């Protein structure tokens, strides 16, 4: 299993917003520069994150983007699902009806377990946790 750039860049984008939480909106170009994300690509990610109600935007001279909720209330699972969709290793985990072997497939049980473990891990980490990890790493 490999997370796409959508997940990785979206998480970094959200980290940047969390680092500036309660400091006002941030311009997208500043987020992109700080996190080394393509400006063009970030526009697609912003749209997905806004649709998932993870971020908001304001217009005008002092406009930009900011988190919709506090960092401790946003889980990494929400970010990944917003840009990737459901966290299932294989399609039959989410939709067993697509395979006639689903009810008798031993490997499907393993794919379910791995998918659940991945989800549970991402669901246990908040943006606040990520900010704390980032700050510790800055000191090194």
Q: What is the pLDDT of residues 63-99, one digit of tens each?
A: 899 999 999 999 999 999 999 988 877 888 887 888 8
Contact (Cβ atoms closer than 8 angstroms) between residue 103 and residue 53: no
Q: In whole angstroms, give the CA distance from residue 13 to residue 31.
A: 7
Contact (Cβ atoms closer than 8 angstroms) between residue 10 and residue 82: yes
Closest alpha carbon to 67 in 50, 42, 82, 83: 50
Residue range(s) defining the domain that contains residue 46: 5-139
Task: Render pLDDT for 33-57 as a digit per residue (tens, 0 to 9).
Answer: 999 999 999 999 999 999 999 999 9
Backbone angles phi, psi at 59, to 5 degrees: -100, 170
Helix, strand or coil for residue 56? strand
Report, as an integer, the average pLDDT of 6-15: 96
Q: In whole angstroms, give the CA distance from residue 94 to residue 9.
A: 25
CATH number at residue 37: 1.10.10.10
Report, as an integer, the average pLDDT of 102-107: 86
Residue 32: both structure tokens together: 């992109």
Closest alpha carbon to 4 in 59, 82, 66, 95: 82
Strands of the chain, DSSP E: 55-58, 64-67
Asked if residue 1 has pLDDT above 70, the reply is no
Asked if residue 133 has pLDDT above 70, the reply is yes
Number of separate domains in the chain: 1
Contact (Cβ atoms closer than 8 angstroms) between residue 35 and residue 59: no
- DSSP 8-state assignment for residue 54: S
């Amino acid at each position: 299993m490999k997370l796409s750039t959508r997940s990785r860049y979206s998480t970094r984008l959200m980290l940047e917003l969390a680092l500036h939480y309660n400091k006002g909106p941030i311009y997208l170009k500043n987020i992109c520069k700080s996190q080394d994300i393509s400006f063009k690509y970030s526009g697609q990610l912003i749209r997905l994150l806004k649709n998932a109600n993870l971020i908001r935007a304001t217009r005008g001279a002092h406009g930009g983007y900011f988190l919709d909720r506090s960092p401790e209330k946003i889980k990494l699972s929400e970010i990944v699902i917003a840009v990737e969709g459901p966290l299932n290793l294989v399609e039959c985990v989410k939709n067993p009806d697509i395979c006639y072997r689903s009810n008798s497939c031993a490997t499907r049980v393993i794919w379910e377990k791995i998918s659940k473990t991945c989800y549970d891990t991402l669901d246990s980490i908040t943006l606040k946790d990520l900010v704390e990890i980032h700050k510790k790493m800055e000191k090194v």
